[in-house]
Structure 1
Amino acid sequence: MVVSPHPLPSATITGGSPICEGSTATLTATGGNSYLWSTGMNGSVITATVAGTYTVTVTNSLGCTATSSVSLIVNPNPISQILGSLTVCEGSSIQLEATGGISYLWSNNATTSTINVNPVTSTSYSCSVTNNYGCQVVVTKPINVNPLPIPQLFGGDHFCEGTTMALTVAGGNSYIWNNGDTTAQITISSPGLYSVTVSLNGCTASTYAYITTLPIPVTTISEPISICQGLSTTLVASGGVSYLWSNEANSASINVSAGGTYTVTITNSDGCSAIRSTTVTILASPEVTITGDLEICNGMNTSLTAHGGVTYFWNSSATDSTITISPTTNTQYSVTATNSYGCSSSTSTTVTVNPVYLVNRVAEICQGTSYNGQGFTVPTQNVAGTFEFFNNLSTTNGCDSIIKLSLTVKPKPVITQAITGNSVINITGNYTYIISNAQYATSYEWSISNPTWILTNSTTQSVNLAINTPGIGTLSVYGVNECGVSSPATLNIQSTVDIEESDIDDNIEVFPNPANQFVTIQNNSTQSLTHVQIFDFTGKYINQYELHALNTNINIETLSKGVYLLKIYNKNKLITTSKLIKN
């Protein structure tokens, strides 16, 4: 019997080339009709991801088997990262470095391990890294682009010599100045270039300012002075365009009568100020008194002695401190005394000469006067009525009498209220003015200081005044009776009749008008305005103010009530005039 063996299958495996970590290998067996792999899988094709030996048993159609094996190698992927900062400032570049491979391909197509990038917005950069096995990984680096800070510098560009100025910067959370300060605000006392670097979120930006100083005024003031009590002196300051004294006066010179230290702040055209002071010493005036027998009998003499000075001058031309007199009638004696400072004061007294017989006397005086007569010296009587006064003479040598004086004090007129009527006149016409509640007046005397206005002849409590021209005038009224004239009541009247504004430029506005405290000059025109001059109603120059902007506020608090004329200039050229009413 002849046995013929069946042929074995020819088992082979393809697809066993090395793979990278994370990849899949496809293993394909051939040479049979059925296949059983060492992994337990059936079929001619399997996939593998794990390194090792893979064996397949191949069976042909005759049932014969053969095996084949392949070793699968899994190469490691590169261990890679991108080095570099996660943030970059706007406008700056950053270096990124990929590691762990032998070749690189960036998302911007660069093929080096290190790249420099300058992103304008926040973005990400990726790199495909390949190692020596040919395995690749892709790593990504997000980049945040921080905006640069916007520094803002506040504080001006100049200050006055001898003062300080604050410079303030904003726009960051940390600062470094070129003088080493690290605060947002610095105080400077010297001119020069000041720069600051502002940091925000790690990004920096710088700004600077060149600061200059303005000169302070070169000033003078009156030397210290001594004056006698009751006198006044003029203090003068110079070197500026405006002045503010410690007594609130705002002129270059002031008239003072009180002692003490006077200080003035002098400001120049740059707005810089200097302070000067001087002193006024008040020298005491003498306190002058006269002593002696001030009441004598007719035919006698007496001595009067002055006290309080070092030299004396009597109204009788005597220069001694004591004089001897023998008046025959009531006589007033006055003396001026001068002390060691050269200051003088005067006083007076009346020597009464009494008659030598018994008599009743009757007299009348007006309220507010004294009575000297008939042997009596009665001081000023301020109350109306009838009063009795007595002189008792105790001697019998020609002056041994009792004299009774019945003195009637008649009231003087008194005006207690102001004149009522318009004080600012804008329209030609007749105006009525009234004085009320005058006491003891039997008639009235009216007068007006402006000769062009017509005042009706009136002796009553009202009067008519015709005003048809511009100007100013003082209306006065006195109460009159047999005892004299009262103190006047007055009313200052200003007339703007026929006053016209000229050269009006509708693009230049003055408001409010009338005004009380401030007035604004607004320039809506195309031409520049440099200054404005203020004149009162009579044409007298009052003041001048610089115009530096489209809107300039002028303080008119110190102006008296009335009508003023504003003349607005561009350098030496008059641009427009405007009438202003101060309430």
Structure 2
Amino acid sequence: ICNGQSATLTASGGTSYIWSNGGNTASITVSPGSSTNYTVTVTNAFGCTATSTTTVTVNSLPVANAGVDQSIPNGTSTTLSGSASGGSGSYSYLWSPAGSLVSSTVQNPQTTNLTISTAYTVTVTDNNSGCTSTDQVIITVTGGSLSLNVTTNNSSICNGQSTQLNAIASGGTGSYTYIWSSSPVGFSSSIANPTVSPTVTTTYYVTINDGFNSSSSSVTVTVNQLPIVSITPASQSICNGQNATLTASGGTSYSWNNGSNTSSITVTPNTTTTYTVTVIDALTCSNTTTSTVTVMNTPSATSSNSGPYCSGNNIQLNSSGGSTYSWLGPNGWSSTLQNPSINNSNSSMNGTYSVTVTNAAGCTATSSTTVIVNTSPTVDAGNSISITYGTNTTLNGTATNGSGNYTFLWSPDTLL
């Protein structure tokens, strides 16, 4: 037997029994601390006696050792350290609970990944005597279980913007690796907080591992496309001094590079200028576009006349600076000649003559000149008379019309 066990001895062959340990029944149960011989004296019905001896061999127990207690992080595993001493020196091991061990029949088994503290018991069996002993070790699980929370700094972005992904791990061993992927495919990373710039709405997946366990989660980043921005007209040409109206569309607010913040602006540039508008839509996404206003030079218009004129003379008007001309004058007069003439002038033609000069770009300028037509005087040399040969007479010249301030010139002056 093994030390600490009992053995039952049963004698037969008589009617009464006396054992060496004082027992007086056919069967006795003994628990010797060491190997012991037991003798029984048997008496039959006739009073005759006989003796017999049996030996109970006591085998020493092995001493089991389950190792020292341990503390491990939540979700991790460890190796148990079993040992034994005493007995024959040849042992077998059986650990429990077997369900939380990779193998329960080896000396030093590995546990499964533990989430609760567990007491393990090892039973050591002496392979020669079959005697056993047990010992217990406690594995304490500290901390929480491995967990993962995935966030993004901005779950809705505009195309062209970036946002940071955040894999927030806790529990487990506290030492983590990261594997990121995406749908649509194309993104990968091995850091905890990568920055992404998707062009379409994308779901990002991350798996963390603490060396023993894994956890996975995902987050979606919505990508809002930029507004489609236009300016009407896309480009235009104006003459210097004219206005241009530009109208932007495609958003809810507008900001021009000239400081305006309305959808339409009216500008009067004096040189060719490009105007840029930034348009923001209801999702706060923005886009820009441009429109160029080309400024064309105006002609340098000139006008003149060769007056003043006396009535009856021809009026000569002159202009320059363009490719086409349009004259307007008193009494509804007009002409499209560059240098028109007006025959047989009279005082009703006095006044301002304006010419609109147009250059090859279609730009115009106006110039004017004042025409003065003086009324010619009416002269009267007097009545014809007869005089005596060799005598003289006085000529009586008179004038009317005109300004009234006259000078007279007679001919032939040799006879005056």
- TM (norm. structure 2) is 0.51
| Matching residue of 2:92 | 102
Task: Tell me which of 257, 264, 287 is aligned to 2:277.
Answer: 264
Alpha-carbon distance in 2 for matches of 1:265, 1:250: 9
Q: 2:288 aligned with 1:275, yes or no?
A: yes
For 2:205, give the aligned amino acid: S
Task: Tell me which of 175, 178, 184 is aligned to 1:175.
Answer: 178
- Given that residues 244 and 264 in structure 1 are in contact (C-alpha distance below 8 angstroms), is that contact kept between their aligned partners in structure 2? yes
Task: Tell me which of 318, 321, 326 is aligned to 1:313.
Answer: 326
Q: CA deviation at 1:192?
A: 3.2
For 1:185, give the aligned amino acid: P
| Matching residue of 1:251 | 262
For 2:291, give the aligned amino acid: T
Written as runs of structure 1 = structure 2, the 5 A alignment for 1:470-549 is none
| Matching residue of 2:195 | 186
- Given that residues 226 and 283 in structure 1 are in contact (C-alpha distance below 8 angstroms), is that contact kept between their aligned partners in structure 2? yes
| Matching residue of 2:301 | 288
Alpha-carbon distance in 2 for matches of 1:341, 1:107: 100
- Given that residues 277 and 290 in structure 2 are in contact (C-alpha distance below 8 angstroms), is that contact kept between their aligned partners in structure 1? yes
- Tell me the alpha carbon deviations over residues 313-347 of structure 1, each in whole angstroms, 9 at most, x when there is no partner: 33423443336799989965543211112211113
Change over 3 Å in CA distance of 1:170–1:209 after alignment to 2: closer
- Tell me the alpha carbon deviations over residues 20-79 of structure 1, each in whole angstroms, 9 at most, x when there is no partner: xxxxxxxxxxxxxxxxxxxxxxxxxxxxxxxxxxxxxxxxxxxxxxxxxxxxx9998568
| Matching residue of 2:218 | 208
Q: CA deviation at 1:164?
A: 4.1
Written as runs of structure 1 = structure 2, the 5 A alignment for 1:413-428 is none
Q: CA deviation at 1:283?
A: 2.2
SS at match of 1:171: strand
Q: 2:248 aligned with 1:237, yes or no?
A: yes
Q: 2:174 aligned with 1:166, yes or no?
A: no
Alpha-carbon distance in 2 for matches of 1:109, 1:324: 122
| Matching residue of 1:530 | none
- Tell me the alpha carbon deviations over residues 353-407 of structure 1, each in whole angstroms, 9 at most, x when there is no partner: 99xxxxxxxxxxxxxxxxxxxxxxxxxxxxxxxxxxxxxxxxxx99xxxxxxxxx
| Matching residue of 2:142 | 145
Q: Percent identity?
A: 25
For 2:248, give the aligned amino acid: A
For 2:276, give the aligned amino acid: T
Q: CA deviation at 1:297?
A: 10
Answer with 107-116 or 141-150: which moved more.
Answer: 107-116
Written as runs of structure 1 = structure 2, the 5 A alignment for 1:11-30 is none
Alpha-carbon distance in 2 for matches of 1:277, 1:140: 78
| Matching residue of 2:357 | 337
| Matching residue of 1:12 | none
Q: CA RMSD in A?
A: 4.9
- TM (norm. structure 1) is 0.38
Change over 3 Å in CA distance of 1:107–1:321 after alignment to 2: closer
Change over 3 Å in CA distance of 1:251–1:81 after alignment to 2: same
SS at match of 1:240: coil
Change over 3 Å in CA distance of 1:107–1:214 after alignment to 2: closer
Q: Which has the larger radius of gyration?
A: 2
Alpha-carbon distance in 1 for matches of 2:203, 2:245: 46
Task: Tell me which of 228, 231, 234 is aligned to 1:221.
Answer: 231
- Given that residues 302 and 320 in structure 2 are in contact (C-alpha distance below 8 angstroms), is that contact kept between their aligned partners in structure 1? yes
Task: Tell me which of 59, 67, 72 is aligned to 1:87.
Answer: 72
Answer with 148-157 or 107-116: which moved more.
Answer: 107-116
Change over 3 Å in CA distance of 1:116–1:201 after alignment to 2: closer
- Structure possessing the higher relative contact order (Cα contacts under 8 Å, 6 or more residues apart): 2
- Tell me the alpha carbon deviations over residues 133-181 of structure 1, each in whole angstroms, 9 at most, x when there is no partner: 7586857465453432442412343334x43442320424643212421
Alpha-carbon distance in 1 for matches of 2:76, 2:257: 64
| More strand as a share of residues | 1
Q: CA deviation at 1:310?
A: 1.3
SS at match of 2:299: coil
- Given that residues 219 and 237 in structure 1 are in contact (C-alpha distance below 8 angstroms), is that contact kept between their aligned partners in structure 2? yes
- Given that residues 146 and 203 in structure 1 are in contact (C-alpha distance below 8 angstroms), is that contact kept between their aligned partners in structure 2? no
Change over 3 Å in CA distance of 1:116–1:344 after alignment to 2: same
Alpha-carbon distance in 1 for matches of 2:115, 2:221: 35
Alpha-carbon distance in 2 for matches of 1:76, 1:255: 104
Alpha-carbon distance in 1 for matches of 2:142, 2:211: 10
Gaps of 5+ in 2: 5-58, 84-90, 170-175, 183-187, 375-405, 408-416
For 2:337, give the aligned amino acid: D
SS at match of 2:366: strand
Alpha-carbon distance in 2 for matches of 1:127, 1:327: 139
For 2:327, give the aligned amino acid: W
- Given that residues 314 and 334 in structure 1 are in contact (C-alpha distance below 8 angstroms), is that contact kept between their aligned partners in structure 2? yes
For 2:338, give the aligned amino acid: S
**Aligned positions, number:** 281
- Given that residues 153 and 207 in structure 1 are in contact (C-alpha distance below 8 angstroms), is that contact kept between their aligned partners in structure 2? no
| Matching residue of 1:157 | 155
Alpha-carbon distance in 1 for matches of 2:352, 2:274: 42
Q: CA deviation at 1:194?
A: 1.4
Answer with 250-259 or 333-342: which moved more.
Answer: 250-259
SS at match of 1:321: coil
- Given that residues 155 and 165 in structure 1 are in contact (C-alpha distance below 8 angstroms), is that contact kept between their aligned partners in structure 2? no
For 2:72, give the aligned amino acid: T
Q: 2:138 aligned with 1:130, yes or no?
A: no
Alpha-carbon distance in 1 for matches of 2:195, 2:242: 52
- Tell me the alpha carbon deviations over residues 202-229 of structure 1, each in whole angstroms, 9 at most, x when there is no partner: 6654331233443544554324222222
- Given that residues 194 and 210 in structure 1 are in contact (C-alpha distance below 8 angstroms), is that contact kept between their aligned partners in structure 2? yes
- Tell me the alpha carbon deviations over residues 475-516 of structure 1, each in whole angstroms, 9 at most, x when there is no partner: xxxxxxxxxxxxxxxxxxxxxxxxxxxxxxxxxxxxxxxxxx
